[in-house]
Amino acid sequence: MRTEKKLKLKQLRHWRVRKTVTGTPERPRMSVRFTNDNIHVQFIDDTIGKTLAATTTLSKTTPDRDKLAANVTSAKIIGALAAKTALEKGITQVVFDRSGDRYHGKVKALAEAAREAGLKF
């Protein structure tokens, strides 16, 4: 019963965020998704429905990817790596989509690492 309620509340948060957050070519949406084992970050232009850049703990270009998990320390590493990838593609400003997760812990660590690495949001 409790997990059903948590999932329902997460879905409501996700809908509420996505109602207002959309990516444009000048300011794409930085979508963050945490699974039990991995972290996925995508930069999406919603006007054409295309992913401009992406970073994940599963990517072969991720350093020490065998040691990374879905935790705060890995979120900091992936946040900085995602910002570096975005800056290489010419993306400097984004809108942050936390995918229904609350803004604390892993999500906050990833966002702050991306900001420190040069992304503006």
Q: How far apart are CA 76 and CA 74, in angstroms?
A: 5
Q: Which two tokens stand for residue 27?
A: 């300011």
pLDDT one-digit tens code per residue, 26-65: 999 999 999 999 999 999 999 999 999 999 999 988 888 8
Please determine, for residue 21, whether its predicted confidence score (pLDDT) is greater than 70.
yes
Please determine, for residue 1, whether its predicted confidence score (pLDDT) is greater than 70.
no
Residue 110's Cβ-side half-sphere holds a number of Cα atoms within 13 Å equal to 33
- Give the pLDDT confidence score for residue 2 in this predicted structure: 77
pLDDT mean over 4-29? 92
- Give the pLDDT confidence score for residue 65 in this predicted structure: 87
Domains with residue ranges and CATH for the chain? 2-116 (3.30.420.100)
